[in-house]
Amino acid sequence: MRGVSTWVRLALLAVLAGTGLVAQAGEAAPKFVERMADTALLERVRQGGYVLYIRHGTTDNSRADQVPLGDFKDCSRQRVLNEAGRQLALQVGQFIRQARLPVSQVLHSPLCRARDTARLAFPQQPGGVQQVDGLLYTANLTQAEKQPVLKETRHWLSEPVAQGANRVIVAHAPNMADLIGYFVRPEGTVVIIQPQGQGQFAYVASIPPKLWPSLLAP
């Protein structure tokens, strides 16, 4: 029985290694390392082909999401943007325009805080902003409930974007934490992603709100 148990454990480790979940037996997965964007990266993003994943603006933490949410349009059951969050959304949108980053598509989570951030940041987006119900907040979901949400999030992060434009996704920190171990903070941070197709994408760098002035300095 001891030999059988050992064989089973070795077989399981081999399967996990093949999926990339472990590098070697007994080793932890690599820890996520955040990188800050620089002006050279902004120049590349101006050429298009990237995804800009934006965490919504700051919220009123005295109001927790009620579970289940039910009607996504009922903001009274959700944690919503506070006044600072609304101003932050306006500011981040302005920073993106000042940086001359072309945006062809703006998608947002169905929750009010993400929807309002998208509308405030991109008020003149051609065709408007688009709600994607599958980009739901994952923090209050079971592991089974998370799977379709993470699949949808991965799809929009990995789907190639044509050169000359970028896709914006306005959503939540837990989704990225579940996918790559990166809890995006603070609110309003822009995460630059390189989509690679077939469900694959690469984290490139982050732009927290306080970094924009140095990136845009003459």
Q: Which residues contact 127 (CB under 8 A, 6 or more apart)?
A: none
User: 77 falls in which pLDDT band (50, 70, 90)?
Assistant: confident
Torsions phi, psi of 19, nearest 5?
Answer: -90, -5
d(CA 39, CA 48): 15
| Tally of CB atoms within 10 A around 153 | 25
pTM assigned to the model: 0.85
Q: Share the mean pLDDT of the chain.
A: 88
Q: Which residue has the higher pLDDT, 9 or 202?
A: 202
CATH code matching the domain that covers 31-216, chosen among 3.40.1080.10, 3.50.40.10, 3.30.70.2190, 3.40.50.1240: 3.40.50.1240
Question: What's the one-letter identity of residue 129?
Answer: V
Torsions phi, psi of 54, nearest 5?
Answer: -110, 125
Q: Comparing C-alpha atoms, which of 39, 51, 138, 120 is closest to residue 81? A: 120
User: 23 falls in which pLDDT band (50, 70, 90)?
Assistant: very low
Quote the pLDDT of residue 97: 98
Q: To which residue do tokens 């006044």 refer? A: 83
**Domain locations in the chain?**
1-30, 31-216
Quote the pLDDT of residue 20: 36
Using the predicted structure, report yes or no on whether residue 9 has a pLDDT greater than 50: no
147-203 pLDDT, tens digit per residue, is: 999 999 999 999 999 989 999 999 999 999 999 999 999 999 999 999 999 999 999
Q: Which residue has the higher pLDDT, 23 or 49?
A: 49
Instruction: Specify burial of residue 89 (Cβ count, 10 A radius: 0-12, 13-18, 19+).
Output: buried
**Average pLDDT for 134-150:** 93
The proportion of the chain whose per-residue pLDDT surpasses 70, expressed as a percent, equals 86
